[in-house]
Structure 1
Amino acid sequence: MKQLKITLITFLLGIIAATAQGTVEKSFFNFQTGMVGFWGSHEARLSNKFALRTEIGVDLWQYETFRGEDGVVLVPSISAEPRWYYNIAKREQKGKATRKNSANFFSINFEYYPDLFVIGNMPNFMYVPNQIDIIPKWGIRRHIGNSNFNYEVGIGIGYKAYLNEDDSKTISSTTDNVAVDIHLRIGYTF
């Protein structure tokens, strides 16, 4: 009986310690840029270790026309990404910086590419196919020193779904529905 009480007390203290320390920030805005675009985002706390990141930006797309020509254009993107900062408490316990959610995370990114506009030299580029990418991914976010500058690295593989039936018939015949997200970004937090 004594062993059971000690185990129960240790378990409860462990839960309290895990939830009381290392919580994500309540809310902040961020602007990031990388080799493939630029984005503005807002991150809001859902619980001690979970946050919801919403983002709007412009992504670089490589395309191929029906005539076999290829090129690069910028297209708009909108995303919602629930994140689990799984090691934020451990980082805080070790005395490492955790401000503005400087920690490792797992997430599921839901990204929408609307056919609103295209920026770039595109003489034979017709339109952006309306699509949604659903990508589970792993990443890290760190601040640079005590500044508001940060960097973020992430990688994931998921599924791409075309919203127009014509797009899925035309595009899926030449490519598969695998979506890959590899990003390296630098940004500034407000």
Structure 2
Amino acid sequence: MEKHCVIFGNNIFSKSISSIEKVILVSLFFFGSYVGFSQKAVEASVEKSVFGVQVGPIGVWAHNELKLSNQIALRSEIGWGGVSSAHIEPLIALEPRWYYNLNRRANKGRRIDGNSGNYISFRANYRFFDISEAENNNQDYLILATSWGIRRNIGNHFNYEAGLGVGLGIRDEEGKEIGYTTIFNLKIGYRF
């Protein structure tokens, strides 16, 4: 049996250590090192301000995301879009986004620049007149929807977004019309 010295402060204690105790001590040392390193998690944050343009299957948009907290950004958007090429409408939108997985992405070494991550949002979208309907071009349309989506970077300035959501659509056509609506989002963009 070997004798080892264990030093605590200025005191030296002699103690016999068995093979099992050695395995336990070595395991605790390595596990403790792993836990110690894993506690140095990066506190990830959305960017202070992100400005860009995006195009989708039907539409083009300019947007800005303003940081409200480490994980929440307020997205404002203006553009032209619609449900088909026959119905193109000018629109404005306001959308607080909660980027819920930024810390996990940063800890795994994945990119979070340009607010690249998964998000949950509440979107208020106001569509003005429909340019395809000359006789009914005063049909305003408000959409209030909750959605889930992702944004990922392609290189330094390009990105893509995809998302799904559900909400209420409110149309002002000789009185109020309210109905359920779905949101599908697929865009490719350039970040300045």
Q: TM-score range by the shorter chain?
A: 0.7 to 0.9
Q: What are the Cα deviations for residues 82-111 of structure 1, in whole angstroms up to 9, with x where unaligned? A: 000000111001100000000000000000
Q: Following superposition of structure 1 onto structure 2, how do residues 108-187 of structure 1 map, counting pairs within 5 Å? A: 108-115=122-129, 118=131, 120=132, 126-145=136-155, 147-162=156-171, 164=172, 166-168=174-176, 172=177, 177-187=179-189
**Aligned match of 1:91 in 84, 105, 118?**
105
1:46 to 68, 88, 97: 68
Deviations 1:31-58 (A, max 9, x none): 0001021100000000000000000010
Tell me by how many angstroms 1:129 deviates.
1.5
CA distance in 1, matches of 2:175, 2:137: 10
- For structure 2, list consecutive stretches of 5 or more residues without a partner in the other structure: 1-38
Residue 167 (structure 1) shift: 4.6
- The one-letter amino acid paired with 1:179 is T
Letter in 2 for 1:186: I
Structure exhibiting the larger radius of gyration computed from Cα positions? 2
2:191 alignment counterpart: 189
**1-structure distance, mates of 2:143, 2:175:** 14
Q: What number of residue pairs does the alignment pair up? A: 154
1:17 deviation in Å?
Answer: 7.1
Q: Contact 1:139/1:155 (CA < 8 Å) preserved in 2?
A: yes
2: CA distance, partners of 1:79 / 1:60: 13
Which amino acid in the other structure matches residue 120 of structure 2? F
What secondary structure, in the 3-state scheme, does the structure 2 residue paired with 1:22 have?
A: coil
1:24 counterpart residue number: 46
* Residue in structure 2 matching 1:101, options 95, 115, 118: 115
TM-score, structure 1 length as denominator?
0.74
1:65 matched residue in structure 2: none
**Deviation for aligned residue 1:165:** 6.0
Unpaired runs of at least 5, structure 1: 1-15, 63-70
Q: Percent identity?
A: 37
> 1:61 offset after TM fit, Å?
3.8
One-letter identity of the residue aligned with 2:121: S
* Structure number with higher strand proportion: 2
Structure 1 segments (4+ residues) deviating >2 Å: none
Write the distance in 2 (CA, Å) between the matches of 1:188 and 1:98: 16
Deviation at 1:125, TM superposition (A): 5.2
Q: CA deviation at 1:74?
A: 1.3
Q: Which has the higher contact order (CA 8 A, sep 6+)?
A: 1
2:186 and 2:135 mapped to 1: Cα distance? 27
Q: How far is 1:126 from its partner?
A: 2.3
The answer (yes or no) to whether the contact 2:139–2:173 under 8 Å persists in 1 is: no
